């Protein structure tokens, strides 16, 4: 499962960088995810997690570096070649991103109708199965506008797994869900990954989910990967007491523990806050 096994990674990001205007959102990202593995990506709000996912699904192109899925560089592909790759992965967007003009059932059925030659009866059955997995079978006929935020998430997940993809990307699968549903979704992610040998990349803030899901984890900060390691590595770091020598480790530990005090807080305070106030004062 680790790099020692010598397997080809399913997802491989090399030296990737991306700027929006003058803001360098991603800066030298290197990431490998192997078959059947769950990689959890953590990081503060706005650190570029969703942007990283957008690169992995070929929705934006990096300024530098390569993104390989199944060993092929998707940054160099035509839209048509990319579409063939896209049929092999599923993504759950942060907002759910359901097709609002279609009912929940149709959202799932759409992909099956468009990308397979199955007949309507079979599609119907598959839709029911997928919706049952996320606990929405009773809501097949509902329109997305009639769903709660958490239900939208689950419907989005049902759509993401409609074509039995080999890679699944999740952007905050547990956000906005109650603890039980969240745990069920996590269990589903684990089941899909382990039973069907799906490769998963999960973005999440929630440490309970992160530690429940992860085979390996990494933490993103200021566009760079601050720490990458197995779940065990991160657990050890979280539970270490006493002073840590490296700034980096203290930062990760604060994030893992969710402490209010620590280097992240200091960084926010120490930035040009006072200067900013003075500038504002001068202007008036």
Partner 1 sequence: MKETDSSAEMKDKSSVIIDALGTLGEFTLKTGRNVFSMFGGMFLLLGETATVTSKGLLIQEQRIGSEAIFTQMVRVGVKAIPIVILIQLAIGMILPLQMFPMLDEFGQSDQIATINAIAGFRELGPLMTAVVLCGFAGASIAAELGTMVTAEEIEALKASALNPIRFLVVPRMLATLIMTVMLTVIANVVMIASGMLTAINLGIDADTYFKLTIEAVEVSGFVTGLVKAAVFGLLIGLIACFLGLSVKPWEGSEGVGRATTRTVVYGIVAVIFADAIFTLIFYSYGLFD
Ligand X SMILES: Nc1ncnc2c1ncn2[C@@H]1O[C@H](COP(=O)(O)OP(=O)(O)OP(=O)(O)O)[C@@H](O)[C@H]1O
Virtual torsion, Cα 118, 119, 125, 126, nearest 10 deg: 20
What residues does 202 pair with on adjacent strands? 40, 170
Q: Residues 83 to 102: which contact ligand X by CB under 6 A?
A: 94
Q: Residues 97 to 126: which contact partner 1 by CB under 8 A?
A: 97-100, 110-111, 114-115
> Which one of the spans 15-23, 86-94, 116-124, 269-277 is the region binding Mg ion (CB under 5 A)?
86-94
CB of 141 to ligand X, least distance (A): 31
Judged by CB under 6 A, does residue 6 bind ligand X?
no
Cα 98 from chain centroid?
17
- Residue selected from 25, 160, 161, 192 as contacting ligand X according to rule CB under 6 A: 25
Asked if 214 and 39 touch (Cβ cutoff 8 Å), the reply is: yes
Size of the site for Mg ion (CB under 5 A): 2
Give the helix, strand, coil percentages of the chain, each rounded to 5.
Answer: 45, 20, 30
CB of 113 to ligand X, least distance (A): 31
- Residue 8 CA to residue 2 CA, distance in Å, equals 11
> Which one of the spans 42-50, 71-79, 101-109, 121-129 is the region binding Mg ion (CB under 5 A)?
42-50
* Token pair in block for residue 196: 């069907």
What residues does 155 pair with on adjacent strands? none
Q: Which is nearer to partner 1, 67 or 256 (CB)?
A: 67
Site track for partner 1 across 15-54, x = CB under 8 A: ---------------------------------------x
**b/e map of 65-101 (b: 16 or more CB within 10 Å)?**
bebbbbeeebbebeeeebeebbeebbbbbbebbbeee
Q: Residues 71 to 100: which contact partner 1 by CB under 8 A?
A: 82-84, 86-87, 91, 93, 95, 97-100
Virtual torsion, Cα 100, 104, 107, 112, nearest 10 deg: -170
- Residue selected from 19, 30, 50, 230 as contacting Mg ion according to rule CB under 5 A: 50
Q: List interacting residues with ligand X (CB under 6 A).
A: 20, 25, 43, 45-51, 94
Q: List interacting residues with partner 1 (CB under 8 A).
A: 54, 57-59, 82-84, 86-87, 91, 93, 95, 97-100, 110-111, 114-115, 159
């Amino acid at each position: 499962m680790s790099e020692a096994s010598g397997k080809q990674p399913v997802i491989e990001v090399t030296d990737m960088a991306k700027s929006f205007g003058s803001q360098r959102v991603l800066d030298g990202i290197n990431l490998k995810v192997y078959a059947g593995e769950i990689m959890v990506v953590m990081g503060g709000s706005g650190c570029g997690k969703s942007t990283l996912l957008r690169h992995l699904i070929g929705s934006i192109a990096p300024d530098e570096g390569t993104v390989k899925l199944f060993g092929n560089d998707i940054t160099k592909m035509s839209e048509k070649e990319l579409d063939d790759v896209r049929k092999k992965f599923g993504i759950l967007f942060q907002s759910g991103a359901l097709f609002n003009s279609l009912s929940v059932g149709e959202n799932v059925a759409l992909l099956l109708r468009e990308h397979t030659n199955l007949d309507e009866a079979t599609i119907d059955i598959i839709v029911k199965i997928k919706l049952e997995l996320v606990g929405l079978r009773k809501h097949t006929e509902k329109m997305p506008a009639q769903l709660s935020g958490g239900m939208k998430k689950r419907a989005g997940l049902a759509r993401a797994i409609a074509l039995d993809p080999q890679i699944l990307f999740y952007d905050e699968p547990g956000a906005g869900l109650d603890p039980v549903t969240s745990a069920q979704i996590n269990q589903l992610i684990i089941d899909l990954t382990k039973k069907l040998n799906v490769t998963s990349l999960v973005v999440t803030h929630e440490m309970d989910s992160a530690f429940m899901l992860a085979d390996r984890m990494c933490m993103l900060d200021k566009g760079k990967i601050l720490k990458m390691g197995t779940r065990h590595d991160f657990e050890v770091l979280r539970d270490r007491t006493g002073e840590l020598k490296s700034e980096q480790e203290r930062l990760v530990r604060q994030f893992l523990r969710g402490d209010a005090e620590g280097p992240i807080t200091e960084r926010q305070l120490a930035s040009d806050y006072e200067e900013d106030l003075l500038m504002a004062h001068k202007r008036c």
